[in-house]
Structure 1
Amino acid sequence: MSRSVVITGSTSGIGLGIARAFAASGDNVIINGFGDRDEIEAIRASLDAQGSGTILYHPADMTKPIDIEHMILTARDRFGGVDVLINNAGIQHVAKIEEFPPEKWDQLIAILLSSAFHTMRHAIPLMKSQGKGRIINIASAHGLVASPFKSAYVAAKHGIMGLTKTAALELARDAITVNAICPGFVLTPLVEKQIPDQAREKGISEAEVKDEVLLRLQATKEFVAVEEVAEAAIYLASDAARSITGTHISIDGGWTAQ
């Protein structure tokens, strides 16, 4: 039986990789994110062709609670509920705290942290009425450890870890699990965009940013593959993971082992 899956920030990067995995499993999926209308439709159509489920696109702005509510209600109306909620939407801004634009701080906190609260607030009653559910928050190694020049991102990802644990305790007797995945650096458009920012901030080359900054703490010295994160999400959404809740899976090439 097809599940109803909502994935925020899923028109590129990790979110798109996760959407591909669930679409291939025959699930009904709502993808979400910004981008060129024609490109998004091409992505939706390609996902739709992967399996037996239906793929919809919802343009909800993750800074707007009313948009988020409409997206969850769309899943209810079109697919009968929400079986799996994956909070993945993200942006980045790199700057020293004293130079960090306040509007950027507010935007990152809204998209990375507050949006997950809003999706969960509306999805949880649907999951309770169904008698089960899965919530998977895509956090980061930065939900466990910090890096300089990323104050808003690190603060939001640490917040996601706390939200994950709190929700897991609240829902432990409702057959709803809540977990986080903490990837290290994945070479997504979001990461690629920060390479020149980091180079400028540190006064080094982009190649040095990759080797000496991004992969410095990943013991494998390799970027994490999107598919690895997607497979972890598939597992956490499965019946086999019914006793896993309130915790995280690190996929970080040994970064947080140090």
Structure 2
Amino acid sequence: MKNALITGGTSGIGLGIARYFASHGYNLLINGLERNGTETAHDMATEHGVKVYFSGANLMQPAQIREMVQQAEKALGQVDVLVNNAGIQHVAPVDEFPEEKWDSILAVNLSSSFHTSKAVWKGMKERGFGRIINIASAHALRASEYKAAYVAAKHGIAGLTKVLALEGAPFNITCNAICPGYVRTPLVEAQIADQAKAHQMTEAEVIEKVMLKKQPVKQFVDVCAIAQMALLLASPASSQLTGTMMPIDGGWSAQ
């Protein structure tokens, strides 16, 4: 039985991945800032007959990240799979972009993935097995207006993914990034309202003319598709699959 640590695992994409992994027998530590995190973990453990623990670590604080990894290793025995999923967003023109938002988005969306990866690296290296899966975005491959910090962070994740893949190769540690298009999560729901304001459109127009305009398949990406890809990347069979950016974006990156 394998063990996984999933950041941002109490809502949206992270919760979908956590539930899918639990249904396939993974023990988990899920991280998030939601107040119901402990309850979510308990419900998941009961439903799937696995161990699920919760950490409310603030991913803007490296010390708390290290403590979270230590908690996971103590509770689970070891961390075989790390899913760096946590993310925040803010949408604004660059000349109006709040500096504190830039700092917080870079901290959560990029720097936390370095700190978590560093914290699990020693154990993975010693055991000769590790799977690091970064939930990036189509914005790791493409840019959009009004998202300076988010696009910069996701492009940074692409670079970090490649470096970890190279350094991990001698030790059977793989690192890959999944790059979804728009998924209708709470984060995207908030973006719809922000984009409507920025573009001076209705929310329906934002969905049609801004978000799904870039995806030839005119649908939001299904969380299940991301979870299935993550499970594949976590498997022993994926040892030759490393350093990749895996688009699940309805054809966005094909353009």
TM-score range, shorter chain: over 0.9
Question: What displacement does 1:67 show?
Answer: 0.5
Give distance in 2, aligned partners of 1:247 and 1:176: 13
Q: Which runs of 5+ in 1 are unaligned?
A: none
Question: What displacement does 1:218 show?
Answer: 0.5
- Cα-to-partner distance string for 1:153-186 (whole Å, 9 max, x where unaligned): 0000000000000110011110000000000000
2:14 corresponds in structure 1 to 15
SS in 1 for 2:143: coil
Q: What amino acid maps onto 1:118 in structure 2? A: H
TM-score between both structures, scaled by the size of structure 2: 0.98
Give distance in 1, aligned partners of 2:176 and 2:107: 20
TM-score between both structures, scaled by the size of structure 1: 0.97
Note if 1:167 corresponds to 2:167.
no
Identical aligned residues as a percent = 52
SS in 2 for 1:49: helix
Question: What displacement does 1:79 show?
Answer: 1.4
Tell me, yes or no, if the aligned pair for 1:27 and 1:52 is still in contact at 8 Å: no
Question: What displacement does 1:119 show?
Answer: 0.2
Note if 1:130 corresponds to 2:123.
no
- Provide the aligned C-alpha RMSD in A: 0.8
2:93 corresponds in structure 1 to 96
1:6 corresponds in structure 2 to 5
Tell me, yes or no, if the aligned pair for 1:27 and 1:51 is still in contact at 8 Å: no
1:217 corresponds in structure 2 to 214
1:29 corresponds in structure 2 to 28
Tell me, yes or no, if the aligned pair for 1:29 and 1:55 is still in contact at 8 Å: yes
Give distance in 2, aligned partners of 1:35 and 1:88: 15
1:84 corresponds in structure 2 to 81
Q: List, as ranges, runs of 4+ consecutive aligned residues in structure 1 with deviation greater than 3 Å.
A: none
Give distance in 2, aligned partners of 1:88 and 1:96: 25
- Aligned partner of 1:147 among 129, 144, 148: 144
Give distance in 1, aligned partners of 2:232 and 2:46: 22
2:113 corresponds in structure 1 to 116
Give distance in 2, aligned partners of 1:31 and 1:140: 20
Q: What amino acid maps onto 2:22 in structure 1? A: A
Tell me, yes or no, if the aligned pair for 2:37 and 2:56 is still in contact at 8 Å: no
